[in-house]
Chains A and B, each alone.
Chain A
Amino acid sequence: MSQSDFVRRLPGLGELRQGKPWLKRLHIDPLLLLPLLLLAGYGLVVLYSAGGGSLDAIERQGMSLGLAGVLMLIAAQIDVAILRRWALVIHLGGTVLLIIVLLAGDDAKGATRWIDLQVLRFQPAEIMKLAMPLAVCRYLGDHHLPPTLPTVAVSMALIAVPTLLIAKQPDLGSALLIASSGLYALFLAGIRWLWIALAGLAGVLLAPALWFLLRDYQRRRILTLIDPEADPLGSSWNIIQSKIAIGSGGLHGKGWLAGTQSHLDFLPESHTDFIFAVLAEEFGLVGVLLLFGLYLIIVARGLWIAAKAPDLFQRLLAGSITLTFSVYALVNVGMVSGVLPVVGVPLPLISQGGTALVTLMLGFGVLMSIQTRTP
């Protein structure tokens, strides 16, 4: 089965192809690259403040950004067909690594997430963030749409196994992102609304049971959401302080480098997961709107690429990657502003941290690869 079975060729396309712009020949999508660069720049500005004006943090993040950018460009050169071919193998490999990590992983902060290869330490969960949409989209792309019940069942298995393995580490944030990338693929593939409704109902019914599976600190995070004043110096501290940071920012913010909540250390994790609070405190609602605007442009471009993609696999893949990116932003802002429980999801391209950045940028590389190969 080939993806170009029914490509309709317009007359004159041959001439166009010969006159392909140089960016397209380099497999770079300027409409995606530009907002990404702006967002990364914005992120460095915020991070500089969150790090208390330390150039050190900026240098490291800049290097991560550079590396991730290069990896994005490399990914953009890879024909999606190759990814499609290896999708299920990568998924399987990732799942095996997840099992290994649970059995023999390195502990960091009470969670087992890392594999240490002496020269390289990496989180298999990050591999899964790309392997999941690849595999599910590949599988669904090979089948009739809308998917039949067995197809859905197999897809759910593809999603559930790695998700549960990651949740067990425990890394709820990654589990959530990985599950949503697979579920988005299912959704885009046209899974029936009735089934979605039934799944939602089952979720509501199973929620109490799920409660008992959660660890103590996870339960506390949820309780904090319901009653933030319950433990103001303990588990609620982060949320109370980040809400104060956001709220005190007001319309225009306190000004760059003038956020008292972050600069006086009231805000924990101010340069990683809670960096949104720094942004909201220093740049106010205006800064938040700018951030949301940039995200919206990127998501819009991603979905445009998905809509225009030449075959089903690429369409689902581009859509899944883009929508998962939006989940990062929504979940992070949701937890920092106190409407979602605290799970470890970074604010994409703003939070400090190279690993998440590399995964995200690889995803955008895939999008560029799809876009620049779309006739």
Chain B
Amino acid sequence: MSPSPVFKDHEQERRLVQRRLLWSVLLLLLCMALLLGRIYTLQVVKHEEFHTLSDKNRIRLQPIPPTRGLIYDRNQQLLAHNKASFNLTLVKESIADLPQTLDRLTTLLKLTDEELNRFRKRLERSRSFDLVPLRDNLTEEEIAILALERHRLPGVEVSAQLVRHYPFGPLFAHPLGYVARINESELKEVDPVNYSGTEYIGKGGVERQNEALLHGQVGYQNVEIDARGRVIRVLNSTAAQNGADLTLYLDSHIQQVAEEALTGWRGAAVAIEISSGGVLAMVSTPSYDPNLFVTGIDARRYGELQKSTDLPLLNRAVRGRYPPGSTVKPFVALAGLQHQVINFDSTVADPGWYQLPGNEHKYRDWKKWGHGYRVGLRQAIVESCDTFFYDLAYRLNIDRLSDTLGRFGFGALSGAEFPGELPGILPSRAWKQARYRANWFPGETVITGIGQGYMTVTPLQLAAATATLANRGVMVRPRLVKSISPVDSAALLPSAPPPIQLAQRGYWDFVIGAMEGVVHDPTGTAKRIAVDAPYRIAGKSGTAQVVGIAQDEEYDAGKISKKNWDHALFIAFAPAEAPRIAVAVVVENGGSGSGTAAPIARRILDAYLLPRQP
């Protein structure tokens, strides 16, 4: 580098540099102005837009699920409540290596393949940043293990949750139903906004029927989150409106007594408080533990329940359809009186069978030699004479018979409070035409008179009809919900259907008197349950055939398998002079109504009417 020896004009150079410095300043100011223009655009012109974006970044609207309402029995015994439970949940987006995390958790908690499969299914349905449950109901020990491993398991969290719990377990499973995780089809039926934070929904029974009341109204909170989606703080919130608490008519004492009485049988019992229609007890045996379903039952146990031939998942009280057998006779008697086909003095000769005019077929009486040559109405009910009712039904004809039975609620749903309830079958010409496209035969009328043939009833219907009979025609509509805590329960009362008007009030008294004879007369079919009864019981036994018995054969319990034993039924109300409770008991393959079902009914009546032992 050789500096040129040429003379340097320092003054000129100084001016040149200064000129260029000035240019630089101009350039700099221009750049600065452009940048300031940019900043101005961002901060002033587009401020609103970016402000919104910033809030959208940090603020997230979160639903606050309402706490589900509690369910009490009539004595304020808790039947369903919400228990704190700790669940293991995973956030997929926060987990770098999901398979590895699952492996680790499998070693730590001994997860089953079942659980892992269920988790994967839930994962598929989850939205991003959802907490996907892997195991519910963590034990203290499991929580401790996870706490130790926490730092090694990002995205794995133990979250506390309120979980439905049924302290009585199987006892109320049928009337109450249970809650379980909402499935997709249910999600379509509910208001998606109100259920945005809800995981469980009522399935069956009171839980399903009163879902809207029990669920409550969802609340909201605006939370500030960081870039990883973690909640930093709550900005503001609208509290959730918790679900309403329900008090039911059910009485856990009566329920327990009924359940114990039915233990060992497949069957159902329904007890109704006549004054209110309140269902005091609704038992269907065998039952199941509803708590298993709340957080998801495993497939093995569910399979066992589902495949069991005892049908534990079936609520027989509202879905079991049985021929009423002789329990229908008091109602047929009332139909006969009302239509003046018979009167209090009518008699029928009973040789042990009944024949239609011009027909060879013999309709047998349960008593081989008959009930005598002058069987009156009272005797026919007390002793359950079939021939009398064959004759009565025939003379009534199916139209009039069906009409009167229909007034008692047979063949129709007994109310709106029992999800899944089946209406049973009240046979009529129209029904048969619609069902079988066939004409009605007189012989079918004959056997309808003793509650056989096409006719089927549910235990609930039978109990409600019995209560209406005991109430002398004033309709008793069975109900479960007694009161709703924050809601005016008067608003719940359904309009009462008109009472059944009979030509003479004496008809009621006569039939009720005859039913009293069933229990208290020395010839009554259920006389054994009158022993030591401190009150008067009106009842009627029924024994319904399960298999057809050929013309010349006889039913012999010893000869046929227990599966084909007759169903045992009993309806009753007490005290007979001023009825307060009506009961219907059905024991599948129980053999004899008076022998098997009647004592169960007696125990239920006792549980309600007798002072309780402390």
The CA of A311 and the CA of B8, in the complex, are separated in Å by: 12
Most A CB within 10 A of own CB, among B6, B50, B232: B50
Given A303-B25, A326-B28, the answer on whether A248 and B16 have CB atoms closer than 8 Å is no
Nearest chain B CB to A68's CB is how many angstroms away? 24
CB-CB under 8 A from A247, the residues of chain B are 42-43, 46-47, 49-51, 53-54
A interface footprint on B12-40 (CB within 8 Å = 1, 0 otherwise):
11101111110111001001101110111
Q: Which residues of A contact B43 (CB under 8 A)?
A: 246-247, 249-251, 280, 284-285, 288
Q: Which residues of A contact B54 (CB under 8 A)?
A: 244-245, 247-248, 260-261
- How far, in angstroms, from A14 to B51 measured CA to CA in the complex? 62
Closest to A193 in B: B23
A118 to chain B, nearest CB (A): 34
Query: Separation in Å of the B235 CB from the closest CB of chain A?
Result: 11
Asked whether, in the complex, the Cβ of B10 is within 8 Å of the Cβ of A264, the reply is: no
Q: A340 — nearest CB in chain B belongs to which residue?
A: B35
- Chain A stretch 340-356: residues in CB contact (< 8 A) with chain B: none
Nearest A-chain residue to B18, judged by Cβ: A307
Q: How far is the CB of B220 from the nearest CB of chain A, in Å?
A: 20
CB of B549 within 8 A of chain A? no
Q: Which of A218-277 contact B (CB under 8 A)?
A: 241, 243-251, 260-261, 264-266
Binary contact track A284-326/B, C-beta < 8 Å → 1, others 0? 1100110010001001000100110001100110010001001
Say if the beta carbon of B496 comes within 8 Å of chain A: no
| CA of A315 to CA of B20, assembled, Å | 11
Interface size range on B against A: 35 or more
Q: Is B36's CB under 8 angstroms from A292's CB?
A: yes
Assess A188 versus B24: contact at CB under 8 Å? Given A243-B50, A247-B46, A250-B47. yes
A306, B32: Cα distance in complex, Å: 20
Q: Is the CB of B227 within 8 A of A266?
A: yes
In the complex, residue of chain B having the shortest beta-carbon distance to the beta carbon of A139 = B1
Nearest 4 pairs of A and B residues by beta carbon: A247-B50, A248-B54, A265-B227, A264-B226
By beta carbon, the residue of chain A nearest B53 is A244
**Alpha-carbon separation in the docked complex, A253 to B57 (Å):** 17
In the complex, the answer to whether B20 meets A188 with C-beta atoms within 8 Å is: yes
B421 at interface (Cβ–Cβ under 8 A)? Answer: no
Inter-subunit contact B21/A307 (CB<8 Å)? yes
Query: Do B10 and A339 touch (CB < 8 A)?
Result: no
A6 lies within 8 A of chain B by Cβ: yes
Given A247-B43, A248-B53: A264 and B21 within 8 A (CB)? no
Q: Could you list 9 A-B pairs, sorted by A, with CB under 8 Å?
A: A188-B17, A190-B13, A245-B54, A247-B49, A248-B54, A303-B21, A330-B35, A334-B35, A337-B39
B28 nearest in chain A by CB position: A326
From B226, which residue of chain A is reached at the shortest CB distance?
A: A264
Closest Cβ neighbor of B47 among chain A residues: A250
Interface residues of A (CB under 8 A from B): 1, 5-6, 88, 139, 142-146, 184, 187-190, 241, 243-251, 260-261, 264-266, 280, 284-285, 288-289, 292, 296, 299, 303, 306-307, 311-312, 315-316, 319, 323, 326, 330, 333-334, 337-339
- Whether B47 lies near A251 (C-beta < 8 A) is yes
**How far, in whole Å, are A189 and B35 apart by their CA atoms in the complex?**
27
- A143 with B4: CB separation less than 8 A: yes
Q: Output the residue of A241, A250, A306 with the most chain B CB within 10 A.
A: A250
Q: Is the CB of A251 within 8 A of B32?
A: no
User: Which residues on A sit within 8 Å (CB–CB) of B227?
Assistant: 264-266
Instruction: Collect the chain A residues with CB atoms within 8 Å of residue B55's CB.
Output: 248
Q: Is A250 a contact partner of B51 (Cβ separation < 8 A)?
A: yes
When distances are taken between beta carbons in the complex, the residues of chain B under 8 Å from A142 are 1, 3
Residue picked from B21, B47, B50, most chain A C-beta under 10 Å: B21
A144, A146, A243, A296 interface centre (most CB from chain B within 10 Å): A144
B57/A264 in contact, CB under 8 A: yes
Q: With the chains together, A134 CA to B6 CA distance in Å?
A: 23
Cross-chain contact B24 with A187 (CB below 8 angstroms): yes
Q: Which residues of B contact A306 (CB under 8 A)?
A: 17, 21
Residues of A within 8 A of B104 (CB): none
Is the beta-carbon distance between B6 and A144 smaller than 8 angstroms?
yes
Question: How distant is B614 from chain A, measured CB to nearest CB, in Å?
Answer: 62
Question: B20–A264 contact, CB under 8 A?
Answer: no
How far is it, in angstroms, between the C-alpha of A84 and the C-alpha of B53 when the chains are bound? 53
Report whether B42 and A246 are in contact in the complex, using a CB–CB cutoff of 8 Å.
yes
